[in-house]
Amino acid sequence: MKQGLIHIYSGDGHGKSPAALGKAVMMAASGKSVVIIQFLKGKGVADPAFLSRLEPEIKIFRFEKADLDYAELTQEKKAEENFNIKNGINFAKKVLATGECDLLILDEILGLIDNGIITVEELKNLLDARDEDTSVILTGIFANEEICMLADEVSRIETVKRKQ
């Protein structure tokens, strides 16, 4: 993967986040640094101690506090989480502006647009803050044409068959 590019993994299929994590491992294996910021993941990975073993090459951050999926939260809890999510966005902007890593993965950031937490314009502003050498991967289910125009590469992941 060339540095400085923006990649999008979108679609209704499973595998967007694992594909991004695969890129993270490949970058880390070649001596590059990776920051992953997860959004809308609920409880996240069952074993957070495993993730800490990936450091210092891969650093993973979650700013949300609730264990439940965002859609299951009350309006009051969603408002609290929106504040936490905005802190995550601000952190991402700092990471991009300082060139702190070679690859920044914003996992499920496209879901923030779907849920009305951020706008496409706010996403554009975030990406405009990046150091030119930093690559970014955005994941989420829906990427409209305006979002796709922000990227150098867009991959749509769809489920062709799912065993019941």
User: Residue 139: is its pLDDT beyond 50?
Assistant: yes
Q: Which residue in 127, 48, 37, 121 sits closest to 85, CA to CA?
A: 37
Q: Which residue in 49, 50, 40, 46 sits closest to 16, CA to CA?
A: 40
Q: For residue 28, is it within any domain?
A: yes
Q: For residue 54, is it within any domain?
A: yes
Q: For residue 98, is it within any domain?
A: yes
Q: For residue 36, is it within any domain?
A: yes
Residue 9 in 3-state DSSP? strand
Kindly report, residue by residue over 115-134, the tens digit of the pLDDT: 999 999 999 999 999 988 99
- Give the HSE-up count for residue 56: Cα atoms under 13 Å, Cβ half-sphere: 3
**pLDDT at residue 56, rounded to an integer:** 87
Q: For residue 163, is it within any domain?
A: no
Residue 130 near residue 97 (C-beta atoms within 8 A): yes
**Angle ∠(159,140,34) on CA atoms, nearest 5:** 115
Residue 54: pLDDT band with limits 50, 70, 90 = confident
Q: For residue 73, is it within any domain?
A: yes
**Where in the sequence is the domain holding 84, given as residue range(s)?**
6-156
The Cα 124–Cα 89 span in angstroms is 12
Q: Mean pLDDT across the stretch 29-52?
A: 80
DSSP string, 21-88: HHHHHHHHHTT--EEEEE-S-TT--S-HHHHHTTTTTEEEEE----SS-GGGS-HHHHHHHHHHHHHH
Q: For residue 1, is it within any domain?
A: no
Q: For residue 86, is it within any domain?
A: yes
Q: Any idea what the CATH number is for the domain that residue 95 is in?
A: 3.40.50.300
**pLDDT at residue 39, rounded to an integer:** 93
Q: Which residue in 137, 74, 68 sits closest to 108, CA to CA?
A: 137
Domain count, the chain: 1
User: Residue 45: is its pLDDT beyond 60?
Assistant: no
